[in-house]
A = this chain, B = another copy of it.
Amino acid sequence: MKLTILGCYSATPRTFTNPTSQVLDINNHIFLIDCGEGTQVELRRNKIKFSRIKHIFISHLHGDHFFGLIGLVSTFRLLKRDTPLHIHGPKGIKEIITLQLKLSNSWTDFPLRFHELDNPESEIVFEDEKVVVRTIPLQHRVYCNGFLFQEKEGDRVLLIDKVSGYNIHTAYYRSIKKGNDVVLDDGTVISNKELTKSPKATKSYAYCSDTKYDEAKISLIKNATVLYHESTFLESHKHLCAKTGHSSAIEAATIAKKANVKKLILGHYSTRYENIELFKEEAKTVFDQVEIADDGDFFEF
């Protein structure tokens, strides 16, 4: 997986910082997660091919997470896209986008598919043979979801020496990889465990922004490979967290620790802070494996 940070600051776009948007490259899918104003320019700057984006996931309807969506949809139209675009986001997003397309007399020539969300419980929003995407219900000032991107477990791995030793025909390999035992011609049953080892460990990416401190999501993101968790405030402003529905760096780190994730990435910094290194310093007092996102950064895992 490769995560590219197009923008990771809260509130308003500024000359050198962008509101939230990121791209997850997972098993040949290019998923766009949130789409603040200016996202299409950041996609170009990061050389991400527009045509490869087929699914966009919007966490909530605050401007710093979706004001760039209508512009991106319009640009897809100008680029003469013809493949479907799927937009997963809160109820209301369809009305916002289609109203603007209607009033500008600019209907898309490509199929625009809205998948509106209003479920307060986690649900699967995308699934294919190799990847599943689930919502992570978040606690913010408006209806809001994070998203959990998980690789599916692959086939079991053949122990070739063992399989050859029993002189098993290759026609059975597929069945063995799926976890089945083998019955030899003489009726002997060879247990699958003897012939295979566990598949490659799967990876997962949990995106949690925006949210106040909330332990309810921990069971969903347990053991994630990487957790991106918003940290709008430092300790000096932690009194603002509850009121604004945001988290501090220490709160994000506490969630990471309790969920036993492998790595925490912080973002969604309030633009009041000059030095975002302070977020890392504060989070590290609780959880060691922490990195800070900045616009244009990427993380491979």
Contacts and interface: CB of A to CB of B under 8 A. Distances in A.
Nearest to A101: B63
Contacts of A45: 15
Contacts of A63: 70-71, 74, 100, 104, 106
A200 interface: no
A38 B13 contact: yes
Nearest to A10: B78
A219 interface: no
A103 interface: yes
B78 A67 contact: no
Nearest to A67: B71
A230 interface: no
Nearest to A76: B12
A244 to B, nearest CB: 11
A92 B92 CA distance: 17
B103 A61 contact: yes
Interface string A88-115: 0010100110011001111000000000
Contact of A106 (B14, B62, B104): B62
A14 B37 contact: no
B13 A142 contact: no
A11 interface: yes
Given A62-B104, A142-B105, A41 B67 contact: no
Contacts of A106: 62-63
A70 B96 CA distance: 12
Interface in A48-76: 61-63, 67-68, 70-71, 74-75
Nearest to A11: B78
Interface of A: 11-15, 37-38, 40-41, 44-45, 61-63, 67-68, 70-71, 74-75, 78, 90, 92, 95-96, 99-100, 103-106, 141-142
5 interchain residue pairs of minimum CB distance:
A92-B103, A63-B74, A37-B71, A12-B75, A61-B104
21 contacts: A11-B78, A12-B40, A12-B71, A13-B40, A13-B71, A15-B41, A15-B44, A15-B45, A37-B38, A37-B40, A38-B41, A61-B100, A61-B103, A62-B104, A63-B70, A63-B104, A67-B71, A67-B74, A96-B103, A99-B99, A105-B141
Given A12-B71, A90-B103, 17 more contacts: A11-B75, A12-B40, A13-B71, A14-B41, A37-B38, A37-B40, A38-B38, A61-B103, A62-B104, A63-B70, A63-B100, A63-B106, A67-B70, A96-B99, A96-B100, A104-B142, A105-B142
